[in-house]
Amino acid sequence: MNREGFTGFSRGEARTRTATSLNFDNQGPLNKLMRLPWGFILLIAAMALTGIAMLYSSAHTNPAEAHLWKLQLVRFVVCFFMMIGLAMLPLSWWMRLAFPAYVGTIVLLILVEVMGVTGGGAQRWLQIGPVAVQPSEFAKLAVTMALARYYQMVLQPQTGRVMVHLGALAIILLPAALIFKQPDFGTTLALVASGGVVIFLAGLSVRVIGTGIIGGIASVWPIYQFVLAPYQRERVDTFLAQLFGGATNALGESYQIEQGKIAIGAGGLNGRGFLQGIQSQQDYVPEQHTDFILTVIAEEFGFLGSTALLVGFAVLLGWSLYSAARSVSWFGRLASAGAVATIGFYIVFNVGMVLGLLPVVGMPLPLISYGGTAMLTTMACFGLIIAAHMHRDEKLTARGLF
Amino acid sequence: MSKKTADLDFAFTRRTAIAGAAGGLVWAGLIARLFQLQILDQERYQAQAEANHIKLQLAPPQRGRILDRFGRPLASHRRAGRISITPEQTDNPEHTLAQIAALIELPDERLERIANEIRLSRRRNAGFVPVTVAHELTYEDFARMNVHAAEMPGVNVEMALTRSYPRGRDFAHVLGYVARASQDDLVRLTGDMTDKEAETLKTMFRHPDMRTGRQGMERFAEEWLRGKPGYRKLVTNAHGRVIEEIPDERLAPTPGKDLFVTIDSDLQRVAIERFEGESGAAVVMDVESGDVLAMVSTPAFDPNDFVNGISTANYSELRDDTRSPLYPRAHGGVYPPGSTFKMVVATAALEAGAVKPTDRVHCNGYYHFGNRTWHCWKKGGHGSVNLHTGIKGSCDVYFYEIARRTGVDKIAETARKFGFGQDWVLGMTGGRGGLVPDREWKQRVRKENWYEGETLNFGIGQGQLGTTPLQLALMTARIATEGKPFKPRMIGIGPQSQDDHTLDAPLDPEVMKLMKAGMYGVTSEGGGTAYRSGDLGLGGPRLAGKTGTAQVRRITREERLSGVRSGSEIARELRDHALFVAYAPADNPKYAISVVVEHGEGGSRTAAPVARDILHFALKTDSRRKPSYSQSASLPTSMTDAGEPT
């Protein structure tokens, strides 16, 4: 906290600065480019390139997957420039985009429901021309933006009521319901969780939050019993069984978790070295290039490598959250923090699942896992975070919905 | 800015800090879990990873070879390409089989059989044992399959060692053959094992390379030849495909031991050729050492046909062949010895004191006893005969008389001293002991008294008496060695049969000298029944022998009266067998031989020339007959490479 203004923006000091040194929009795009948080951006690039190297390691022995790393590299380069572009976008533009993006995502989710492609037992994919996209991935960013936009609109000093937050809840639950129906329990959970974080940060009263937590715990059993599909219930059962050391069928659901744990554990402190993992190189862990890519890192680079990865994520998210806290506009604060929560839950769900702490929910590891839509969403989230950082001192005024 | 706004801002900052702290806690939890898995439980997971990808695969031992007395292979190995499918590694065996069939020629019938076998093995949960699809691949097929195997999960294309019998039919009845172990084989082999040993053995025999001896020496010396299984350390991927093999000396299988036999494979070949397609048997022995040098039974089958399983059609053909190629004549063929038995009768008579060598019997062609008439083979008779002329001219009347005087039990007792009535194993299977009849036998088996008339038939080697060519060679060797203890053997280095014993029952050397003189007379004196066969064509040495005829059926009275006796006038399969026993050189015996030419009619005309030519070769090559295995100080061990041995 090198800025004294952090403890209180009420003295108008921030606004003074906005008008002078920090208004990049008045100083030309090149200058703005130079002022981007390049350390942050380089860390993102380094982690994504690590992911591509791990992708090469996990798939190069399989002729059908050997080329995937190149594809992922191309995607990353494209997404990287997109992120830079998004980062330069004035925050007011982001705000104007929020509701249209939200509505567009809802439309896409309904289209998935109507004409989506089934993959892996769930209807998640939408074929648009040559590319297949997962609208549920876009939903994470769209909901975050819409929430921030909503609070920017309604959050006034005189409106500290609980009722205000019901609108936010509706914004979350509409896409969540559509995604849950696909069914995609993991994404639904991540969406609701990161949305919940935004509501929490927006100042929902502690009493309501406490009630919500109690209600949430109380609803675990009914959800398991009546809401979950049989295959989802099976996953939860498998998870609980392996968590408590019960009998698991090594070739069924828990095979993936077991083999993943073996790969991670076999890595030891230093790992077996790049391309040297015996589990990773010989196809023992299913989905190793997508959701279970952490097992490759853990096996080939050991505890040091996997911890470094988590620390890298922690640095990215911690800095982002810090930056969000410094933002003067509610849109900037909540959009940035929401993006942090989105990426954070991605990571927690994925790592927790791979480490056997959470059920298998089919969640990619941001920046690292193979997959275009997740890469696009993640990089867009970072773009939003950087944009909020760049315009942290900009006081936004919302007129109408756009 | 109002107080309210400031409160809201402050609340946001505070809540951000709370969220950040919560995130930090979660992160710490994840890292703690990584620490637990990667540091605390590292050893366990590393062991599991090793176990995951390193598989110990049972490695069959290489079967020992069977070598002749000069170390030339009679049974060895040959490399042959083989395709197999590991059922548990293929999702759709029918599809995989169709893929293979597109590349190499496979009859539909065979495809169906393999598909069945795969289904069966899956049902038995034995999907890890490869099922052979094709063996004996041509080089082209092997190369083509090798290229495409990577695209077919569960398909293994490999070079396998196949049992091979380079001498083909020559040793079919001696060596027998190997085959995949059947359920019956497994029951037999595991008979006296513990459950655990039996399980290991059964697992080993499931390997497509493993064979077990089904017949002959392959079966007799099974344990000697088999060796002990080891393991191969294989690195496999998650789909079970082998990535590489980690060599480990300690796990290597122990190869089976080589077995040396006393046979001279050249002599065997010469003997077989000499039969010129006739069916029959010949046994040649070294009379000094007891080594069996040739053990011929012809026609024979090719044991190579049995190694990978013989087709039903081919087997039926062999089984139904009227010339019985599956029949091991030399040691399992029981023939009446005919006149070759006369030395035994004479020995019994002399030993019993029933006759003196000089005693004369008059032969006018027939012999009356009781109310029946026995005939001599020579119409008109031999006139006055003594022991020497009796043997030389093979006078039946002389032997009717001395047999009657000696009695059946004494002849039987003497016959046993020559090795008759016993199954000589010598490392083979399928041997028979024949039959030496006596009063006790008749009473026990036939529940009848012995008729003295039967003794007369016994006296000329007919009737109930049954002998094998191997026993006849033994008898000849005992005569040639003048009654010295004699132990036949055919396994030079290897397991010896517990049932074969030394023939050491005393035989009077003086009596044996008389027998030898008689046999010399047969081949070398006027009036001898095989006078023309005495000369070996080697300048000096001659052979001494005895002819014989084994009646295939009785000569009817009508035929005798009408003069139809010569076999050329009756159907071939009813003609008599021709026998000849001999040793050479006559003055210093080295080799003894017995020859049976089935349906050859006259011992002197067909059997004796065969015996003479075999002995001719045996003596001509005599100087180099020392076995190679007795010269080397250290025993040769089984070869480790797979090529054809030198």
pLDDT tens profile B579-638: 999 998 999 999 999 999 998 887 778 899 999 999 999 998 887 777 777 644 334 444
Q: What is the pLDDT of residues B331-374, one digit of tens each?
A: 999 999 999 999 999 999 999 999 999 999 999 999 998 889 99
Band (pLDDT 50/70/90 cuts) for residue B212 is very high
Tokens 């993959």 found at: A119
* Percent of chain B with pLDDT strictly greater than 70: 92
Q: Which of A158, A310, A357 is the closest to B27 by Cβ?
A: A310
Q: What is the pLDDT of residues B192-206, one digit of tens each?
A: 888 888 888 888 888
State the Cα–Cα distance between residues B149 and B136, nearest whole angstrom.
Answer: 17
Highest mean pLDDT among A104-118, A234-248, B240-254, B319-333 belongs to B319-333
Distance from CA of B292 to the nearest CA of A (A): 59
Q: Cα(first)–Cα(last) distance of chain A, in Å? A: 34
Phi, psi at B274, each rounded to 5°: -65, -20
Mean pLDDT of B238-262: 81
- Chain A residue with Cα closest to B24: A314
CB B516 within 8 A of CB B483: no
Amino acid at A331: F
DSSP state of B262: S
Residues A200, B19: C-beta atoms closer than 8 Å: yes
CB A41 within 8 A of CB A34: no
State the Cα–Cα distance between residues B177 and B300, nearest whole angstrom.
Answer: 12
Q: Is B246 helix (H, G, I), strand (E, B) or coil?
A: strand
State the Cα–Cα distance between residues B418 and B53, nearest whole angstrom.
Answer: 65
Tokens representing residue B624 in the block: 């180099």
Tokens representing residue A88 in the block: 């330069």
A254-263, B157-166, B214-223, B262-271: segment of lowest average pLDDT? A254-263
Amino acid at B148: H
Residues B8, A160: C-beta atoms closer than 8 Å: yes
Tokens representing residue A79 in the block: 């997404």
Band (pLDDT 50/70/90 cuts) for residue B239 is low
Residues sharing a CB contact under 8 Å with residue B522, sequence separation 6 or more, in sequence order? B391, B392, B394, B528, B529, B530, B531, B544, B545, B546, B547
B237 contacts chain A (CB < 8 A): yes
Mean pLDDT of A293-298: 92
Amino acid at B68: D
A129-138, B548-557, B602-611: segment of lowest average pLDDT? B548-557
Tokens 């001719």 found at: B616
Band (pLDDT 50/70/90 cuts) for residue B639 is very low
Residue of A258, A282, A330, A346 for testing the chain B interface, max B β-carbons within 10 Å: A282
Residues B12, A333: C-beta atoms closer than 8 Å: yes
Band (pLDDT 50/70/90 cuts) for residue B408 is very high
State the Cα–Cα distance between residues A266 and A272, nearest whole angstrom.
Answer: 8
Helix B396-406 crosses helix B342-352 at what angle (to 10 degrees)?
40
Residues sharing a CB contact under 8 Å with residue B494, sequence separation 6 or more, in sequence order? B221, B224, B257, B259, B260, B261, B427
Q: Is A225 helix (H, G, I), strand (E, B) or coil?
A: helix
Tokens representing residue B6 in the block: 């400031």
Residue with the bigger pLDDT between A283 and B538: it is B538
Q: Is A128 helix (H, G, I), strand (E, B) or coil?
A: strand
Q: Is A73 helix (H, G, I), strand (E, B) or coil?
A: helix
Highest mean pLDDT among A120-129, B80-89, B122-131, B248-257 belongs to B248-257
* Residue B630 is among the residues annotated as catalytic for this protein: no
Q: Which of A201, A344, A355 is the closest to B37 by Cβ?
A: A355
Q: Which of B33, B41, B49 is the closest to A278 by Cβ?
A: B49
Tokens representing residue A260 in the block: 């993943």
Q: What is the pLDDT of residues B411-467, one digit of tens each?
A: 999 999 999 999 999 999 999 999 999 999 999 998 999 998 899 999 999 989 999
pLDDT at B126: 65
pLDDT at A16: 42
Which residues of chain A make contact with B8, given a CB cutoff of 8 A?
155, 157, 160, 203
State the Cα–Cα distance between residues A306 and B16, nearest whole angstrom.
Answer: 26
Band (pLDDT 50/70/90 cuts) for residue A2 is very low
Distance from CA of A110 to the nearest CA of B (A): 33
- Chain B residue with Cα closest to A266: B46
Residue with the bigger pLDDT between A340 and B539: it is A340
Distance from CA of A130 to the nearest CA of B (A): 29
CB A262 within 8 A of CB B48: yes
CB B478 within 8 A of CB B418: yes
Of the candidates B297, B286, B304, B290, the one whose C-alpha atom is nearest the C-alpha of residue B326 is B297
pLDDT at B363: 93
Residues A203, B8: C-beta atoms closer than 8 Å: yes
